[in-house]
Chain A
Amino acid sequence: MTDYVVKLRYYPGDALEEIKERNLKSLALKYGVQISYEKIENRQMKQGLLMENTLDKRIEDISQEVITVSGDREKKFADCIRALYKRYRCPRTVYSLLGSNEAGEKIAKSLMNIHGGW
């Protein structure tokens, strides 16, 4: 079992730049961690804006990009999270780490103040 697992949930517009799978792959290689990526898109163009009703939806079902990072070595795992935050900014909702394990969430949270604003 992997020691550290974190899910970073970026809602539309939350990441500072486009999340590209090839960038994630090179980060995984660099830090010796596993990274997977999932994009959920449920928005529809209305009144010139991409819109979506999210009020009574499950968090996992609304539009978002989810980067899942897992690894066994704390330092490498933390460095990878830091690199992701530096590039994309940290995800900013209170539930942005939903689905992470406790050890992974603790590291991801501790780095948020540095790259997410304070």
Chain B
Amino acid sequence: MKILALNGSFRKNGNTEILLKQALMGAESEGAQVEILRLTDYKISPCRGCGLCLFRENVCQVKDDDVSLIFSKVKECDGVILGSPCYFLELTAVIKQLIDRCWILGHQIGKIKKPATVIVPYATRGWIPYIAAQSNILLNVMGLTKINEAAICVQGISEVVLDQEALDVAYRMGREIAVAIRKKDFTYMGEEGVCPSCHDWLVRILKDRETVECPTCGVRGKLSMVNGKIRVKFEKKALKDNRFDPEVSYNHFTYHIAPSKDYFLRTKEERKSKFPKYQEYLPD
């Protein structure tokens, strides 16, 4: 059993790395082989938006960086522990950069069965609204199943070593993922949240002001007040509309992405006539 930690922090021996190492020690105690990748040590170029990977499996125009190495490490392992600090409401830029490059993996959504867990150290309470959404995007598009997540409130460099409770949480999460792999049971163990698929607390209000949507998986529900508490109800049939569901994902590639080639070719002449204005304005 091999467990890979992906570290989204630039800082060596910072809180994220300490917590990831602690989790890996927990995984090792359950017999796992472990490895850690500090993502900022690798070259992750921006997605060029060429769209090739959307039309053909396993084809990416960007060949002079380390993304395929990172993907191969994820492919080889049995489970992933993702760590990232939250500097400004979100995970770090290197995580986002990696998410953008994950389109190439979109074809394999649902074909992989591996667990993942997420650890995010952050400094200020209330400043982490998007961390679950972003980690969910990365894990989902990599085909991984989130079994737990923890946000750890800590600020100064390496200060987390003073927080035994946080270290215990990380260690336990490392053990949990190893046990999950061994038992092949990827039941979610974290806090439930409002979305039954993503276990996140975010919802987006649609402009009809009647419907809410999980911004990550896209399932739709209704808001109501029950005994003075906000309730978000997702019908069972709505949960099938999760954009990371294998069938929904297949339909997206097959009926949204692939036929766009026909539309692109049909509008070629019109584009050619309207495009030069922008090519000539403020040229490179």
A residues apposed to B, CB below 8 Å: 11-14, 16-17, 49, 51-52, 54-59, 62-64, 86, 92-95, 98, 113-115, 117-118
Contacts and interface: CB of A to CB of B under 8 A. Distances in A.
Please name the 10 residue pairs, one residue from A and one from B, whose CB atoms are nearest each other, closest first: A11-B255, A13-B251, A95-B263, A114-B207, A54-B258, A55-B258, A93-B256, A59-B259, A59-B262, A54-B259
Given A64-B255, A93-B256, 16 more contacts: A11-B255, A13-B241, A13-B247, A13-B248, A14-B251, A16-B220, A49-B246, A49-B247, A51-B254, A54-B258, A57-B262, A93-B260, A98-B263, A114-B208, A117-B213, A118-B207
A89 to B, nearest CB: 8
A14 B207 contact: no
Interface of B: 55, 204, 206-208, 213, 218, 220, 237-238, 241, 246-248, 250-251, 254-256, 258-263
A66 to B, nearest CB: 13
Contact of A95 (B218, B241, B247, B260): B260
B254 A118 contact: no
Contact of B251 (A12, A94, A98, A114): A12
Contacts, number: 70
Contact of A115 (B206, B241, B254): B206
9 contacts: A12-B251, A16-B238, A51-B254, A52-B254, A59-B263, A62-B255, A98-B263, A115-B206, A115-B208
Contacts of A57: 259, 262
Contact of B255 (A12, A56, A98, A114): A12
B263 to A, nearest CB: 4
A92 B218 CA distance: 13
A53 to B, nearest CB: 8
Contacts of B204: 117
B260 A63 contact: no
A14 B259 contact: no
Contacts of A64: 255
Contact of A92 (B207, B238, B256): B256
Given A16-B220, A114-B206, A115-B206, A62 B250 contact: no
Contacts of B255: 11-14, 54, 62-64, 93
A64 B220 CA distance: 22
A56 B260 CA distance: 10
A17 B237 CA distance: 9
Nearest to B267: A95
Residue of A17, A55, A98 with most partner-chain B CB within 10 A: A55
Contacts of A51: 250, 254
B191 to A, nearest CB: 26
Residue of B218, B248, B254, B261 with most partner-chain A CB within 10 A: B254
B260 A11 contact: no
Contacts of A62: 255, 259
A94 B213 contact: no
Contacts of B55: 55
A13 B252 CA distance: 9
A59 to B, nearest CB: 5
